[in-house]
Amino acid sequence: QLKVSERLSIFQNNFPDGKLVIKEFPTGTATVNTLRALMVQLKNYEEFEPDVVIVDYLELMRPVRENQHEYQAQQRIAEELRGLAMENKFLLWTATQTNRQGRAVKVITDAELGDSYGKIRTCDFAVSLNQSEEEFDNGRMRAYVVKSRNGRPRFTVPMEVDYNILKMTEGEDIEDEE
């Protein structure tokens, strides 16, 4: 496995004109307003407006309003993140956890989402990454399109994975599964 600094070096070599900013927050402290302030700071002081923002991951954020049940809070965070992306015209990616049933299925669908189904209702596009131990050993994975607001959902895309640089590319055809 490569170290983070080695992966960043590979990124810089592959995208010499690209800019990558990594910002960490303690678990449960960042809200969408924290990210909003970061976007203002990047724009005003760094003259940088990102095209893509990756939040790793939604459940580690704190909702702007605290007086909600966990499932309501997660849906609200998803809605706030979507709004932030629309305001700033960037693509936002995040990840979420599955429920216990997610460990037992071959293909993760919306039925295996953990805690709040409201997260999937909010997003425009959702994909699950699926792989068996054998697929892992062979550098393969299946991306399953769970939701596509403007396209066809519920199909599988085979993927080849290079774990050293965390690069995924479309692989050979496999049968659609659900």
152-164 residue pLDDT tens: 999 999 999 998 8
62 and 29 in contact (C-beta within 8 Å)?
yes
Given a cut of 80, is residue 87 above it in pLDDT? yes
Q: How far apart are CA 93 and CA 53, in angstroms?
A: 6
98 and 108 in contact (C-beta within 8 Å)?
yes
Question: Which H/E stretch holds residue 10?
Answer: helix 4-14
- Across the range 79-98, mean pLDDT stands at 94
What's the predicted TM-score (pTM) here?
0.84
Given a cut of 80, is residue 176 above it in pLDDT? no
Given a cut of 80, is residue 114 above it in pLDDT? no
Given a cut of 80, is residue 29 above it in pLDDT? yes
Q: What is the mean pLDDT of the chain?
A: 89
Angle in degrees, CA 15, 43, 126, rounded to 5: 60
What tokens appear for 74 in the block?
């997660």
Given a cut of 90, is residue 136 above it in pLDDT? yes
- Structural domain boundaries of the chain? 4-123, 125-178
- Across the range 66-89, mean pLDDT stands at 88
